[in-house]
Amino acid sequence: MRKGHSAVLAGLGAWLPPRVVDNQELSRRLDTSDEWIRTRTGIRERRIADPDVSTVDMAVHAGGNALRSADSDEVDALVLATATPDHLCPASAPRVASELGLSGIAAFDVNAVCSGFVYALATASGLIAAGAANRVLVIGADVFSRMCDPDDRATYPIFGDGAGAVVLRAGEADEPGAIGPFDLHSAGDLAELLIVPAGGAKQRVAAEPHDYFVTMQGTAVFRHAVARMAESARTVLGELGLAVGDVDRFVGHQANIRILHGAAKQLGLPEERVVANIGSVGNTSAASIPLALADACDDGDLRPGHRVLLAAFGAGLTWGSTVLTWPDVKPG
């Protein structure tokens, strides 16, 4: 890496819609129970955005908080990770930038679904490494509840809405907050395991209303998520010459507490080092990792100097991971 061209984390922000929907509320209208959802997923409640709140709105809140945390609203690019953009065309990032008063900067969406935040971090790091940007606002925002059939007990209870963001700045590879290396992968032959069949350009109008919602083969997704996150995490640690014992906190995509613990077990990482906020937010897709980072900071569980392993997995399929040492940064 050229001197001064490493991406360094300089700010963190989160935003959740205020409406809390707990498992009891869901079990009043779905054939499910608090006990089933809690024991199979670890989720107690999730946040659901009001109908007039969009991905752009949530991204603006989280992005603004990250800029406050970084103590500067100077950024020259914005990367928005989302699978639920306000429109198929155009991307949502330019609107987010203009609402933050950043009109004119480079702004684009990255869609790697639940791996989106790690993919967006890698993209932003690449902009910095190339000298194309000095400071980048990276936001993960999804309103995934709208992708789920409210009457489908297999998917609706799992997902929640939210947004999280970080500011990356150009710096040195050996300073706290420097991010990398990255390990990123995909398997498009397994796209059918988690897919929204209609609404895109291939099938603009659904044959069945249900085709506008996500369909998921839960057990297969579960197995891939555990194996791929563990495999990818091992790869980045190997590239840095680190052992699993060198990891202080594992911040994996919050899909299911059993997936997080399964990946940690495959890695040989004690459960105490697993950061988990899924109980209160559910699976927030691209927002999940920055929301978990913000919660862990607020709780005092994530502290400056901790070596943090990030790993994500999502539809596509996509997966990836990276490592950083936590800098002296608090959520804004």
Residues within the interface to ligand COA (CB under 6 A): 32, 36-37, 40-41, 114, 153-154, 157, 216, 218-219, 221-222, 225, 255-256, 259, 283, 313-314
In the complex with ligand COA, which residue's Cβ is closer, 43 or 309?
A: 43
**Considering the complex, what minimum distance in angstroms separates the CB of residue 224 from ligand COA?**
9
Report how far apart the first and last C-alpha atoms of the chain are (Å, whole number).
30
In the complex with ligand COA, which residue's Cβ is closer, 117 or 313?
A: 313
- Rg of the chain, C-alpha, whole Å: 18
**Are the beta carbons of 131 and 9 closer than 8 angstroms?**
no
Q: Per the residue annotation, which of 111, 224, 283, 297 is the catalytic one?
A: 283
Q: How far apart are CA 48 and CA 186, in angstroms?
A: 29
**Are the beta carbons of 287 and 142 closer than 8 angstroms?**
yes
**Considering the complex, what minimum distance in angstroms separates the CB of residue 329 from ligand COA?**
26
**Are the beta carbons of 229 and 252 closer than 8 angstroms?**
yes
Bridge-based pairing of strands 161-171 and 6-15 is: antiparallel
In the complex with ligand COA, which residue's Cβ is closer, 26 or 91?
A: 26
Q: If DSSP codes are grouped into helix, strand and coil, which group holds residue 107?
A: strand
**Catalytic residue at 283?**
yes
Q: Does residue 181 have a cis peptide bond before it, meaning omega lies within 30 degrees of 0?
A: yes
Q: Per the residue annotation, which of 23, 61, 65, 114 is the catalytic one?
A: 114
Q: How far apart are CA 171 and CA 275, in angstroms?
A: 27
**Considering the complex, what minimum distance in angstroms separates the CB of residue 263 from ligand COA?**
12
Q: Does residue 90 have a cis peptide bond before it, meaning omega lies within 30 degrees of 0?
A: yes
In the complex with ligand COA, which residue's Cβ is closer, 154 or 184?
A: 154
- Could you tell me which residues come within 8 angstroms of residue 89 by beta carbon, excluding any fewer than 6 positions away? none
**Catalytic residue at 306?**
no
**Considering the complex, what minimum distance in angstroms separates the CB of residue 305 from ligand COA?**
30
In the complex with ligand COA, which residue's Cβ is closer, 65 or 280?
A: 280
Say what the alpha-carbon torsion angle 166, 171, 174, 175 is, to the nearest 10 degrees.
-60
**Catalytic residue at 297?**
no
**Considering the complex, what minimum distance in angstroms separates the CB of residue 291 from ligand COA?**
14
In the complex with ligand COA, which residue's Cβ is closer, 97 or 110?
A: 110
CA torsion sign, 185 to 188 to 191 to 197?
positive
**Considering the complex, what minimum distance in angstroms separates the CB of residue 213 from ligand COA?**
14
Burial class (CB in 10 A: 0-12, 13-18, 19+), 69: buried
Say what the alpha-carbon torsion angle 199, 205, 210, 211 is, to the nearest 10 degrees.
-50
**Considering the complex, what minimum distance in angstroms separates the CB of residue 257 from ligand COA?**
9
Q: Which residue is nearest to ligand COA (CB)?
A: 218
Token digits for 250?
A: 């594992």
DSSP assignment string, 151-201: T-TTTGGGB-EEEEEEEEEEE-TTSTTBEEEEEEEE-GGGGGGEE--SSSS
In the complex with ligand COA, which residue's Cβ is closer, 61 or 228?
A: 228
Q: Per the residue annotation, which of 253, 256, 277, 297 is the catalytic one?
A: 253
Q: Give the catalytic positions in this structure.
A: 114, 253, 283
